[in-house]
Structure 1
């Protein structure tokens, strides 16, 4: 099929390249000239495992192209809108300027019978409003939320764990058939498919993210109790995780969640619920957010306390800057936040991350960045692990002890083995352990 993808940021670039890898002819459109030039040259503007390979293959086959010219979408059968919906600067709600601009730019180029498919995460009610703008062109609108995990985005696009179609009742069968053709490979592989209305499709993504955020903050709340009782939150999570109704995934206590989705999505969901007069229904999300942010300060406090309350002038190695491993995304990153807070208290912070240093340096040039984990560790009086990259999880405690001047480690992700590290002479502190 001939597809267009409007917006070539994280979501859009991955979606465009993945659709081309499935055999579709795809054109990606974005207003960012520099980003389009990179993509067209086969360069990924961000780190995502597997993306470079399918991007290069798509360009080489001629099935994938990128442009800033919206008129290039005119012969596409399906138009995916994959622009960002960041948190508004004047409040907690979602900023829909980019979604509205994408639709406004598309309308002059829509052919009767074509399908506009929203993938952006939007407040419930947005799709119905946009459908009223699209319908007069003879095109139709559907909503197909994304469920990408950074670090696994290519896999999640090509082989998703579920497909959700939000469609208008009047064109339900027609729109379902079109989306089935787009995702034929996934459907043939047995991917579950749910066909529903606009509002349900919009709510699926924010509801899923809210549940995951709640689960993470729940175990971090238990970590706070564990810290004052002497319990081990990791063993607690193992024990309750054996209950099939609960499950072990997303019960890893630590410094909390971040990134471009969970934090802004739960805030936007709470804001939209207030607008609908149902703020009390998701009032707990404010507590979820507060618990999450509190864990960052808790880690900073632990580091400061280890220096008898004064971290000024002490050399602290911060391992990790991205909000999660296998990503260079620093949006709302707990790791970067911890580094900045320690720097603000006067610590000599030396940070390292396998992929996120360029992004972090651009946002926070006041920090010192090491070229390698070894360079960051050398002479450190405290080591703070905040992003659980594999190379950090596999550090040898004996070899690492030879690099630092004071063998004190703070495991912000509970990713290290306390027994091994303590046996090597380290003072080990986890979160809720």
Structure 2
């Protein structure tokens, strides 16, 4: 029986290892983590992350060939293939602060692997890491090996939250990068043999280590670039009366471009896009490529601009002040079908409105009140560091924020509604009922383009939708200003 161990039981490690165990019943898979609470959750009926289909996969093989344990060293020592899926947060201080990846957890994991290993190992980078990280890890392992042979592979993940199980079941591609040596090639074949149990051979792509590491950063940068490009166009659409949906449709019909990732919104979020682009910026700067660094930095700048533009639109539309006004925030997760709030656009929008003394009533079907309050109390990039897992202190509790159980409660007595996540339920709400219970004029600011703008305007709402022609009310307001 092949023995696999994954260090890190988070959004990547847990689902990926569950799928390997599910597809390879003769492979023993153990997921380890120093967080006992997280491991206990993986062993319970309430998994620590929400992902459609994940429960069924985990429960089908848990305690058979899939195990979750906090006994990290014992299972690392026993494994033949070790996936490392630990945090690589953005540094908040020191050299490269605000851009560079902090590899503290990776280095610690490498040293631990070297310390406990009694047999040869294949060590697989599963975390998203800067180019040349494998070289640094290789040096640590080699200098502490005690005669043990370690082969380093890069196997970046390409999961989209909300469809992770679908992505794992039928991946578009699996990248495996390794050294172009006999030992490296043998290690690549060993890992390829695991994936080949269910992934077609033509979708398993092998390459050198540095290409695999850079491919992940480049892929996320390109996807984020598409979103920022459409968001930049959305601002122009609003200024000219064009409709960003129609523009995106026309662009997407060009086979060279395609239709995916052309949806304008209040801004992209998630754990990867901003972090990976800033990491890419830092790597470019370190290699003397200032122009390239500035190019990619602009993708993040447009994303920040889109969020601040949305806040400014809310405030300017409501007579240039939201002080003391109740604003309903519908959705807090960074996208639908996940409870993940990392870098969600809702954080910046909420903080912007609170800064103007608005009273917020927040509803999200998958995000807890504790999580929302913790996120609103954290500084930039702190979410990816250990303190993010700690309860927020009483002083961090925002008095201007309430968290409620449904959209109707959030909107009752509100002056405006901001739709921040594209949950399907927001498309089918009884907006007439909501309108009846709101202050007038009643505003809807659709940051995800989920509502039928014309239907809401017939009800009586003043509606702003990203990249759509402005509401006559807003046009008149701008003209008067």
TM range (shorter): over 0.9
In the TM superposition, residue 226 of structure 1 has moved relative to its aligned partner by 1.5
* 3-state secondary structure, aligned to 1:151: coil
Are the counterparts in 2 of residues 271 and 279 from structure 1 also a CA contact under 8 Å? Answer: no
C-alpha contact 1:380 1:404 (8 A) present in aligned 2: yes
CA contact (8 A) 2:21 2:65 kept: no
Tell me which residue corresponds to 1:410.
445
Does 2:133 correspond to 1:132?
no
Contact conserved, 1:42 with 1:55, CA < 8 A, in 2? no
Distance in 1 separating the partners of 2:224 and 2:321: 33
Partner residue of 1:217?
228
Gaps of 5+ in 2: 377-396, 469-481
Q: How many residues align?
A: 432
Is contact 1:149–1:156 with CA below 8 Å preserved after alignment?
yes
- 1:378 aligned to 403, 406, 412, which one? 412
Deviation at 1:241, TM superposition (A): 1.0
Could you tell me how far 1:49 is from its partner in structure 2? 1.9
Q: Out of 41, 60, 70, which is 2:73 matched to?
A: 70
Which residues of structure 1 form unaligned runs of 5+?
none
SS at match of 2:101: coil
2:283 maps to 1:282: no
1:122 aligns with 2:129: yes
Match of 1:80 in 2: 83
Q: Which runs of 4+ in 1 moved over 4 A?
A: none
- 1:395 & 1:331 partners in 2: Cα distance? 26
SS in 2 for 1:327: coil
Partner SS, residue 363 of structure 1: helix
2:186 aligned with 1:174, yes or no? yes
The partner residue of 2:61 within 37, 58, 66 is 58
Alignment equivalent of 1:327, drawn from 322, 333, 338:
338
Which residue number corresponds to residue 117 of structure 2?
Answer: 110
CA distance in 2, matches of 1:262, 1:278: 20
* Cα gap change, 1:243 to 1:396, in 2 (>3 Å): farther
Assess if the C-alpha contact under 8 Å between 1:5 and 1:29 holds in 2.
Answer: yes
Q: Distance in 2 between matches of 1:20 and 1:192?
A: 20
* Contact persistence 2:347–2:375 (CA under 8 A): no
Q: How far does the alpha carbon of each residue in 1:317-340 deviate from its partner, in whole angstroms, 9 at most, with x for none?
A: 010111111111111110122122
- What is the TM-score of this pair, normalised by structure 1? 0.95
**2:371 aligned with 1:368, yes or no?**
no
Give the aligned partner of residue 20 of structure 2: 19
Q: Tell me, what secondary structure is at the counterpart of 1:409?
A: strand
Question: Are 2:423 and 1:420 aligned?
Answer: no
Task: Tell me, in whole angstroms, the C-alpha distance in 2 between the residues paired with 1:275 and 1:312.
Answer: 45
Return the alpha-carbon distance in structure 2 between the equivalents of residues 68 and 114 of structure 1. Answer: 18
Residue of structure 2 equivalent to 1:186 = 198
Shift of residue 191, structure 1, vs aligned partner: 5.6
Aligned twin of 1:46: 49
Following superposition, the deviation at residue 103 of structure 1 comes to 1.1
Kept in 2, the 8 Å contact 1:180–1:187? The answer is no
Give the match for residue 477 of structure 2.
Answer: none
The aligned counterpart of 1:238 is 249
TM-aligned CA deviation for residue 408 of structure 1: 1.6
Instruction: Report how far residue 262 of structure 1 moved.
Output: 0.3
Give the distance between the partners of 2:82 and 2:166, measured in 1 at CA: 21
1:395 corresponding residue in structure 2: 429
The secondary structure found in structure 2 opposite 1:257 is coil
Rate the CA distance shift 1:68–1:60 in 2: closer, same or farther, 3 A: closer
Gap change, CA 1:350 and 1:7, over 3 Å in 2: same
User: How far 1:352 sits from its partner (Å)?
Assistant: 0.6
2-structure distance, mates of 1:227, 1:101: 50
**In the alignment, is the contact (CA less than 8 A) between 1:258 and 1:323 conserved in 2?**
yes
8 Å Cα contact 1:18/1:54 also seen in 2: yes
Shift of residue 412 of structure 1?
0.6
Mapped partners of 1:43, 1:58: distance in 2: 16
Question: Once the two structures are superposed, what CA deviation does each residue of 1:299-356 show, in whole Å capped at 9, x if it has no partner?
Answer: 1111111221011011110101111111111111101221222122111110110111
Q: Which residue of 1 aligns with 2:322?
A: 311
How many angstroms does 1:62 deviate by?
A: 4.7
| Superposition TM-score, scaled by structure 2 size | 0.86
The answer on 1:37 being equivalent to 2:40 is yes
Deviation at 1:30, TM superposition (A): 1.2
Q: Does structure 1 conserve the Cα–Cα contact (< 8 Å) formed by 2:328 and 2:416? A: yes
Give deviations 1:11-36, integer Å, cap 9, x for gaps.
11222222221223111111112212
Counterpart among 91, 99, 102 of residue 95 in structure 1: 102
1: CA distance between counterparts of 2:162 and 2:243? 29
Whole-angstrom distance in 2 between the partners of 1:74 and 1:362: 36
Tell me the equivalent position of 1:10: 11
Q: Does structure 2 conserve the Cα–Cα contact (< 8 Å) formed by 1:148 and 1:156?
A: yes
Per-residue deviation, residues 92-148 of structure 1 (Å, max 9, x unmatched): 111111111111111123354431111111110111221233344212111100011
- Equivalent residue for 2:270, pick from 233, 239, 259: 259
